[in-house]
A and B are shown apart, each in its own frame.
Chain A
Amino acid sequence: MANAGEQDLVLKARIHRILWLQGYHTRLNVKVASYDQSVSSPMELTDLDVLGVRLSTDYRFDQIMADCTTRSISPIARAFWLRGVMDYLGGVRGYLVLSRSVPPHERSIAARLSVDLLNEADLEGLERRYNNGRLPNLKMFEPEGLTYLHKNLGALSKALAPIQEYRKYYFWMNEDSRNIFGTVSVVRRHREDLNSRDKFHRALILEIFTLFCLALLRMCSYLFHSNPENLTEATREFLHGGVASLRNREELLRDIRALVEAVPGQQDLFAREGLIDKLKLDPPYFNDLMELVVRLVSRPTEVAEILRYLQLILYEKLLFRGAAIRELIGGQYSEITLKLLKDAAIFYVKASEIDPALLAEVQEA
């Protein structure tokens, strides 16, 4: 008989499939963590079984969260917990998937929390309603498919631990503005430890690249709705946490530069070797980032599916060598979506200075 963890996994795989059919990009086992002064690593507080992220064609994000359990718990108590996690992570709706029966009076309370309580019958009903039969059987809907990635990423070398931690904790703890820089720099710092011939190194980078794209699209959503006619200024403000923070940082760097220039003894080092030019607020890839932002903000309809394309590339192409993206997406396939995804990959490779082969599956899609 399967243990509780394996039974939970089956429920996760099923709700994950339903969210995919509803048009979400999905992520499993999202950790909620925080910093603590006494320890160097983040402190894990709880985790969310399934997170669904969907971008509408008017550049609005919609998040849905699901918790799955076969344990005997109070549904409504768990619903209140889920509501708390939804508020923390910015979700608007939730599913609580249970293997036990659900009292009717608890359903109506949960509905006020925007949480749907699903027992086995409810889950089967949802599966029937969304299963149009046209979607091919994808490996990422199978429990074995989900654990395959998780197990093998867990077995990677300790040298890649910082990248793993960023993917697991820091991305969800940081603001989006920090994640644009963070997802690039964490990989750049550890690029020497990456081997493009190792499938799971490529999987890890594809995962981080997916998170980069999520942060990038969130930034584009902000730009689309705030200042789409003045993208460069608006992007700088976003990346540096607002106008006041941007000015603060610029002034700080200016002061540091003045100090460095005034320091006696090794002035030649900084002037002659051009090292003083490193004291710039905008990273060297800023113009390339703007090229990407302009294209993405200009195509709200086509960018909506980028994250789902990446999910298919990870599971169906990289891990399990399945069919081409065009066949898997079917009638909604867009060449422009794929092209924009490849543009993002080209940018990411250049900015993080990694071997382009680490994102080969994206370019070959």
Chain B
Amino acid sequence: MSLLRPRQIGLRAQDIQTGLESVDLSAAGGVLDTTRLVGMAERLAIHVRGAEVIEDYERLKAMAGQLGIDGLILPQVLDVLQEAEFVQIHKAGGAFAKLYDRVPYFHDLYEVMGSVWGSRRPTEIERKSVELLEDLSVRPLTEDAVRGKFDLSDQELALIRDIGVEGAYFRLYESPSDGQKILTSPLFWDENAEAVYQLLKKYKADEVAAAIAKVKSNQGYPLPDLTMPVQNTVDQIILECMVRGILPSPSVSSLKGEKRFAFTPYVGNVQIAKEEKPILDKARAILSCVRYGEHFGTITRISDPDRLLKALEDSTRGRRIGPHTEIKQQYALLVLKGIGRITRDTRFADRYYFELIDTGENLKALQLARDMLSVGEMLTGRGYDPGVREILFHPGTYTEVLASLARLKAKRTPLWSKESASLILDRIVDRVREDWHG
């Protein structure tokens, strides 16, 4: 049984599958099948949601193909979705007739899928892969530490690492300072592996993990006052992360002076993160301004940050908050970034409104800010591609849509290390000799 909560499993399964989408793992003999199936099911679910009824199987297959779900695997993926009660498949004469979409809008999709993963008895290798990826989200680890913590043989570690490297969710980093081999995840520590490693040499791994976890569960964590002595090790580590550039820490200035707010680097899958870095930057700016009001407001403090963000989303209220005297300074950062505008109240000259500029990018940033506030990372629209979904609804043939997507991806075959190749061969031979199921 995994130690992780179902939602964490669900999120990591999608990361793993998205990374391995174009990797041919047939030689690996089913090592990550459950995790990949669940990851595929999650991606398919968010593209099917809202379709209500799908009767054209070929179109469904075409859409799934764009998500890296082969037509032969699609029935298994649909089984997973049916097990989660996200779809209901109707058959006629044994063949697909129609699909009823029941993918939830308000219940946690990843929580449910994480539970489904657990009920399908994942292999030890995939259980440890998922747990390791989650663990690396709060700090990198040396290979020795990974081996010890997860009780892995050299072969098992090599297999997990090699597959992860091919899927771009693990990276093996060799520190130039002492040659130590560090396993990191580019989803979280893309640019700062050496900086984090130096931090690990200075503090205990658990302390670093606790500090990063604290920021992850409280994105936009207000950094301690640099002019005052730091009260505890966790805050000390967080400050050092900021100084070393490990944790992005935008600053906001208002009546209580300049304050910085820490964020963890992760937002989602590597491919998606690169396309949407401006949105991430805006989301952090929005949340920083709100956190300022929450922790350092002078006249009044924000007691419910999510409610304030929801007010900015509300078009019937003009996507506006205020009036308040502190808005002019506190939200100036957002004006600079083109996220909103500030207007003076007509009745009270010292009070101001902040109004969100209604663009797709700003609204996405706002939604991401809300996700970061509630769960610490991107949740809404995770892995969603509107171009792929268009396949379901395009009035003409879907081949036109496919052509425009131009997503012909060649499958890559992973480069195995000697240890992982040895393990795979052992498994194959055992199966042949003994009809063994492991």
In the complex, are the beta carbons of B316 and A291 less than 8 A apart? Answer: no
Tell me the minimal C-beta distance from B364 to chain A in angstroms.
Answer: 15
- Which of A227, A230, A291, A342 lies in contact with B105, CB distance below 8 A? A291
C-alpha gap A18/B314 in the complex (Å): 44
CB-defined contacts of A232 to chain B, threshold 8 Å: 106
A31 to B414, CA, bound (A): 74
Which of B17-25, B49-57, B277-285 lies at the interface with chain A?
B49-57
Is the C-beta of B310 less than 8 angstroms from some C-beta in chain A? yes
Q: How far is the CB of B265 from chain A (nearest CB, A)?
A: 31
Query: Can you list, as one digit per residue, whether each of B99-142 has a CB less than 8 Å from chain A (1) or not (0)?
Result: 01010111100000000000000000000000000000000000
Is B315's beta carbon under 8 Å from chain A?
yes
B66 to chain A, nearest CB (A): 23
Knowing A233-B310, A233-B314, the reply to whether A335 touches B55 (Cβ < 8 A) is yes
Evaluate contact between A291 and B52: CB separation under 8 angstroms. no
Residues A287 and B107 in contact in the complex (CB < 8 Å), given A229-B315, A230-B316, A340-B52:
yes
The verdict on A78 contacting chain B, using a C-beta distance below 8 Å, is no
When A and B form their complex, what is the total count of cross-chain residue pairs whose Cβ atoms lie within 8 Å? 41
The residues of B that contact A291 with a CB separation of less than 8 Å are: 104-107
Q: Interface size class for chain A? A: 20 to 34
> Per-residue CB proximity of B294-315 to A under 8 Å, as 1/0?
0000000000000000100111
A230 with B314: CB separation less than 8 A: yes
**Which residues of chain B from 309 to 348 have any CB-CB distance to chain A below 8 Å in the complex?**
310, 313-316
Say yes or no: is A299 at the interface (Cβ < 8 Å to chain B).
yes
Complex formed: what's the CA distance from A336 to B105 in Å?
Answer: 18
* Measured CA separation A230–B102 after assembly (Å): 21
- Cβ-defined contact, A339 with B313, below 8 A: no
Contact of B53 among A227, A233, A294, A336 (CB under 8 A): A336
Tell me the dominant secondary structure on chain B's binding face: loop
Task: Given A287-B106, A291-B107, A294-B105, check contact A335 B316 (CB 8 Å).
Answer: no
Name 20 extra pairs, CB < 8 A, besides A290-B106, A294-B105. Answer: A227-B314, A229-B314, A230-B313, A230-B314, A230-B316, A232-B106, A233-B314, A287-B106, A287-B107, A290-B105, A291-B106, A291-B107, A295-B50, A295-B52, A336-B52, A336-B53, A339-B53, A340-B52, A342-B100, A343-B102
A residues within 8 Å of B by Cβ? Answer: 226-227, 229-230, 232-233, 287, 290-291, 294-295, 298-299, 302, 335-336, 339-340, 342-343
Residues of B in contact with A (beta carbons under 8 Å apart): 50, 52-53, 55, 98, 100, 102, 104-107, 310, 313-316
A selection of 20 A-B contacts at a CB cut-off of 8 Å is A229-B314, A230-B310, A230-B314, A232-B106, A287-B107, A290-B105, A290-B106, A291-B104, A291-B107, A294-B105, A295-B50, A295-B52, A298-B50, A302-B52, A335-B53, A335-B55, A336-B53, A339-B52, A340-B52, A343-B102
